[in-house]
Amino acid sequence: MIKPLIPETIMKESKNSITDIRIERMDEHRVKIHWKTTLSHEPISIYQASSPRFAAPRKLINKTNQQYLIVEDPQGEKRNYYQLVAENTNGIWVGERCVAMAGTVNFRDLGGYRAINGKQTRWGRIFRGDSLQRATKTDLQLIKQMQIGLVFDFRRNEEVEKGPNRFPENHPLDYQHIPVTHGEFNFMNALERLKKNKSDSIRKETIIKGYIENAENFATTWGTVLKHLARVDCPPLFFHCTAGKDRTGICAALILSVLQIPREIIMSDYLLSNDCIQVVWQRVQTMIQEQGIDPEKLRPFFTAPEYAMTALLDHLETTYGSVINFVKTKADVSQETIDKMREKILE
């Protein structure tokens, strides 16, 4: 059964009894949707759609009073979203946090994060990730299906020259390259230094300093992204660097802070990069070990260290009173823009 989504304005208002919705990928072909309800044995209707917007068609796939459902959803073929609807409510959307692609490893949807006012970030509006230089034809089809129409690339000029992004053909897309020149890390040079001095390692203070300098020195870059998100006509947006963890992590943390997402959620979103890029890190570890070097000495460059984001948020809160004050004073983002952004992104 496929039918258009009913606009929120004409649905009967009622407090939603569905909480703690999440999607767990079981294998390449199936996902498991979990949820809780405040009313026992309340039947929940589960709809599937290719877009979490009311203009898109949705398909009723089940109605159950259990608190989970296993759904056929082949990985990488199509981006699906699910709407869980209790009687007389608007329903709640959920999607897989990580968008499975063949050529990227850290592509994620920032939807479904709960703000302090009880609203949540809209699914399918803001994406973060690593570069699209190795995107496959199937990956590009997903980009097109998700209607991503604006891309911010934080990579340095030389990074872009070595690995230019691939984009879908015949798809309107605004690409903005705004480099964050955070200081180049040369992997082979670092290996040679460690070979000569095995007691050497990447200093924690160096990583923290880099995060703080990136935030401070490129404040207007982050402000540019925030201002676009506040525009009424802003299409689904994707921002990225090379691995999608450091520069991208800073931008994501600022966006979520402005949307009043609690700090513990911001941290969990940041640390999720470590799960996504684990395969890459394992491959790099083997290469480093073959050189007779302890991989732990280079771990900070291939992971998202918790201490770095903690130190950055502490710095912004201590120096500016709050992350939002930093955004206002250094990133030149007005309260009016912040209000518009919240209105557009939160539901």
Give pLDDT tens digits for 318-343.
999 999 999 999 999 999 999 999 99
Residues 6+ apart with CB under 8 A from 204: 300, 305, 307
Q: Which helix (H) or strand (E) holds 276?
A: helix 263-276
d(CA 94, CA 261): 17
Distance of alpha carbon 323 from the chain centroid: 19
Domains of the chain with CATH codes: 1-96 (2.60.40.10), 102-345 (3.90.190.10)
Q: Is the pLDDT of residue 195 over 80?
A: no
More confident residue, 43 or 282: 43
Distance of alpha carbon 300 from the chain centroid: 20
Q: Is the pLDDT of residue 314 over 60?
A: yes
Beta pairing class for 44-49 and 81-85: antiparallel
Quickly tell me which residue has 């935030």 as its tokens: 215
Show the 3-state SS of 124-182: CCEEEECCCCCCCHHHHHHHHHCCCCEEEECCCHHHHHHCCCCCCCCCCCEEEECCCCC
Give pLDDT tens digits for 100-120.
999 999 999 999 999 999 999
Q: Which pLDDT value is given to residue 335? A: 98
β-sheet bridge partners, residue 151: 175, 238
Phi, psi dihedrals of residue 266, rounded to the nearest 5° = -60, -40
Q: For the whole model, what pTM was predicted?
A: 0.90
